[in-house]
Amino acid sequence: MLDLFDRLIAAKIPFKENLSGKELSAYRGGGAVKIVAYPESVSALKALTALATEFGVPYMPFGLGSNLLISDNGYDGIFISSIGFRNLSVRGNRLVLGSGVSLKRAMECAAENDVSGLEELSGIPASIGGMAKANAGSFGKEMADIISEVTVFDCQTGNVSVIKRRDIDYGYRTSGDTFRGKIILEAVIDGEHSDKVRKVSEHFLNERRKTQPSFPSLGSVFKRTNLGVGMGYYIDKAGLKGTRVGGAEISEKHAGFIVNRGGGTAADYIKLKRLAHDVVYRKFGISAEDEIEIIGKYD
How confident is the prediction for the chain on average, in pLDDT?
96
Band of residue 228 on the pLDDT scale cut at 50, 70, 90: confident
Average pLDDT estimate for 193-214: 96
Q: What is the pLDDT of residue 2?
A: 67
Q: What is the pLDDT of residue 15?
A: 98
- Residue 199's identity, in one-letter code, is K
- Residue 212's identity, in one-letter code, is Q
Minimal CA–CA distance to 219: which of 68, 82, 79?
Answer: 68
Catalytic residue among 71, 138, 201, 220: 220
Phi and psi angles of residue 69, each rounded to the nearest 5 degrees, phi first: -105, 120
- In tens, the pLDDT along 90-129 reads 999 999 999 999 999 999 999 999 999 999 999 999 999 9
Q: What is the pLDDT of residue 273?
A: 97
- Indicate if the pLDDT at residue 239 is higher than 80: yes
CB 129 within 8 A of CB 63: yes
- In tens, the pLDDT along 34-65 reads 999 999 999 999 999 999 999 999 999 999 99
The angle subtended at Cα 219 by Cα 218 and Cα 221, nearest 5°, is 85
In three-state secondary structure terms, 7 is helix
Average pLDDT estimate for 175-180: 98
What pTM did the predictor assign? 0.95
Q: What is the pLDDT of residue 1?
A: 59
Q: What is the pLDDT of residue 108?
A: 97
Average pLDDT estimate for 156-172: 97
Q: What is the pLDDT of residue 296?
A: 87
- Is 291 noted as a catalytic residue in this protein? yes
* Parallel/antiparallel/unpaired status of strands 68-70 and 293-295: parallel
Whole-angstrom Cα Rg for the chain = 20
Catalytic residue among 149, 173, 175, 249: 173
The angle subtended at Cα 78 by Cα 157 and Cα 12, nearest 5°, is 75
Catalytic residue among 119, 120, 249, 291: 291
- Indicate if the pLDDT at residue 288 is higher than 90: no
- In tens, the pLDDT along 124-156 reads 999 999 999 999 999 999 999 999 999 999 999
- Is 220 noted as a catalytic residue in this protein? yes
Average pLDDT estimate for 60-81: 97
Average pLDDT estimate for 230-245: 97
Average pLDDT estimate for 245-265: 98
- Indicate if the pLDDT at residue 67 is higher than 70: yes
